[in-house]
């Protein structure tokens, strides 16, 4: 494996398309093999003078959990930077806007964990990202009504939704690794997505591309919306690359996180909160 250390930033996304623009900026890119076969297309290199490892786990909650576990076992990094697209839940967000997570809510687990305030504020200053709550939902938020429901769950002035962030953050918290989340808005609060995307997901939550193609045979009217989403994904990848480069090369990310606290799961871990209605276990 190429040289990596605790000064290295591990940058993770669910899909290669989210990382494509940033990867093109990488100097000295060298392939990294992650044992277990859960993560592919992993490379080490530098952004400016800063060492980084870029990796994609695959989309969906299961791929995120398994991929980040394999990466953290194989890559001795000092910080985790999560990148990816998200759906906007509040009316103040527009396509291509980048947000930095102030809090990550896991709808399935019913938990919420706050990002370290000083680190988050430094990232916001360096990148221009807007502070926002990030909701990791059980399903793709494909309707305006569902986005409204998740916005109410977030209870924040600005919020976005995705499918993977909570899994990444839980793994980082479990190992004491500092973390930051940058998400770019691919669809706004008033934009619906084709329902076939949820129908095309597998049991682990990943969207099966072949199922989407087959779904279009029965729902050809969804094609323009999917093509528009693809265009917006490229816009988001460019915005994420700019933001990530700014925070990594500008020294905004901590090498170690004095503010990290574990997600709840037992009564002696009070730092994070259970969402309203979650099981009190």
pTM of the prediction?
A: 0.88
Domains of the chain: 9-190+234-262 (3.40.50.1580)
Angle at 256 between CA 64 and CA 177, to 5 degrees: 25
d(CA 279, CA 260): 24
pLDDT in tens, 44-87: 999 999 999 999 999 999 999 999 999 999 988 999 999 999 99
Q: What is the pLDDT of residue 6?
A: 59
Between CA 118 and CA 213 the distance in angstroms is 45
Q: In whole angstroms, what is the distance from residue 234 CA to residue 247 CA? A: 20
- Residue stretches of the chain with pLDDT short of 50: 1-2, 256-271, 279-281
Would you state the pLDDT for residue 276? 57
Q: Which residues contact 201 (CB under 8 A, 6 or more apart)?
A: 60, 139, 140, 207, 208
């Amino acid at each position: 494996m190429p040289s990596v250390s605790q000064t290295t930033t591990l940058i993770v996304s669910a899909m290669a398309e989210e990382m494509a623009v940033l990867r093109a900026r990488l100097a000295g890119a060298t392939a990294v093999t992650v044992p277990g076969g859960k993560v592919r297309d992993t490379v080490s290199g530098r952004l400016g003078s800063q060492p980084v490892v870029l990796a994609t786990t695959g989309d969906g909650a299961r791929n995120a959990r398994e991929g980040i576990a394999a990466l953290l076992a194989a890559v001795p990094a000092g910080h985790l930077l999560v990148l990816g697209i998200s759906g906007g839940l509040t009316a103040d967000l527009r396509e291509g806007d980048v947000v930095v997570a102030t809090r990550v809510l896991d709808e399935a687990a019913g938990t919420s964990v706050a990002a370290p305030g000083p680190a988050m504020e430094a990232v916001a200053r360096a990148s221009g990202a807007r502070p926002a709550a990030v909701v990791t939902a059980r399903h793709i938020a494909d309707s305006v009504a569902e986005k409204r429901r998740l916005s109410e769950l977030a209870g924040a002035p600005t919020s976005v939704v995705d499918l993977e962030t909570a899994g990444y953050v839980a793994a980082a918290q479990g190992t004491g690794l500092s973390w930051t989340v940058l998400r770019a808005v691919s669809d706004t609060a008033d934009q619906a997505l084709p329902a076939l995307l949820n129908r095309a997901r597998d049991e682990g939550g990943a969207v099966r591309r072949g199922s989407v193609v087959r779904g279009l045979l029965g729902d050809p009217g969804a094609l323009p919306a999917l093509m528009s989403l693809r265009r917006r994904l490229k816009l988001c990848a460019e915005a994420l690359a700019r933001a990530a480069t700014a925070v990594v090369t500008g020294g905004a990310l901590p090498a170690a996180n004095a503010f990290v606290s574990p997600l709840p799961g037992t009564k002696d871990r009070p730092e994070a909160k259970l969402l309203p209605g979650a099981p009190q276990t």
